[in-house]
């Protein structure tokens, strides 16, 4: 009888642990709040992918009128700023936002934000920035591409960011059929 009681207690504990992080999710907001929700879920449910990297790149896609797609991908390649990527600027392809949590760095590009010295300092701290830009000449650093590496793609309802589905895949978002969501957005 006692082993069954232990199983029930463990099940309740695991169920409670899962629901506790779900209470931290934001219901309303824009793509940055969707990114925050994705990071909360990722930190609490993706232990295998978390162990593989300390730095994660985030890509954002609008999927129709009702869904925001967020892809979280462990990134081993250093960012290489060009002569256009200066503090106070914003260029697609170079991050402008970041969150550092639980010893992990998550970064993404937001066109409404600019590169800050804090961002550059954090990227340097994680040894994730490499500047080969010398006197206007930009060198080509080595780049690793592992097409078998998995990402976690999140699909959030724009009208309620607590409604989402996620997909574990090695295929880039936009190159497979996304899951269907019943958003009920008006």
* Residue 145 pLDDT: 53
**Structural domain contains residue 149:** yes
* Residue 17 pLDDT: 47
**Structural domain contains residue 62:** yes
- Mean pLDDT calculated for residue range 138-146: 51
**What pTM was computed for the model?**
0.81
Highest mean pLDDT among 3-12, 78-87, 137-146, 170-179: 170-179
**Structural domain contains residue 12:** no
User: How far is Cα 127 from Cα 54, in angstroms, rounded to an integer?
Assistant: 10
Position 9 pLDDT exceeds 60? no
**Structural domain contains residue 85:** yes
Burial of 165 (0-12, 13-18, 19+ CB in 10 A): middle
**Structural domain contains residue 184:** no
* Residue 60 pLDDT: 96
Q: Which domain holds residue 128?
A: 28-169
**Structural domain contains residue 75:** yes
**Structural domain contains residue 165:** yes
Number of domains in the chain: 1
* Residue 1 pLDDT: 47
* Residue 14 pLDDT: 47
**Structural domain contains residue 13:** no
């Amino acid at each position: 009888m006692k082993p069954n009681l232990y199983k029930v207690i463990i099940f309740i504990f695991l169920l409670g642990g899962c629901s506790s992080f779900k209470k931290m999710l934001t219901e309303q907001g824009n793509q940055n709040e969707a990114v925050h929700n994705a990071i909360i879920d990722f930190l609490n449910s993706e232990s295998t992918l978390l162990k593989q990297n300390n730095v994660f790149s985030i890509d954002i896609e609008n999927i129709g009128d009702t869904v925001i797609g967020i892809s979280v991908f462990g990134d081993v390649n250093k960012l290489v700023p060009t002569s256009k990527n200066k503090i106070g600027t914003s260029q697609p392809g170079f991050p402008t936002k970041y969150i550092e949590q639980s010893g992990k760095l998550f970064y993404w590009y937001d066109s409404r934000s600019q590169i800050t010295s804090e961002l550059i300092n954090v990227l340097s701290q994680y040894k994730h920035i490499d500047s080969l830009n010398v006197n206007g000449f930009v060198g080509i650093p080595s780049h690793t591409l592992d097409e078998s590496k998995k990402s976690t793609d999140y699909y959030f309802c724009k009208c309620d960011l607590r409604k989402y589905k996620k997909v574990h895949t090695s295929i880039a978002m936009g190159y497979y059929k996304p899951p269907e969501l019943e958003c009920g957005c008006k």
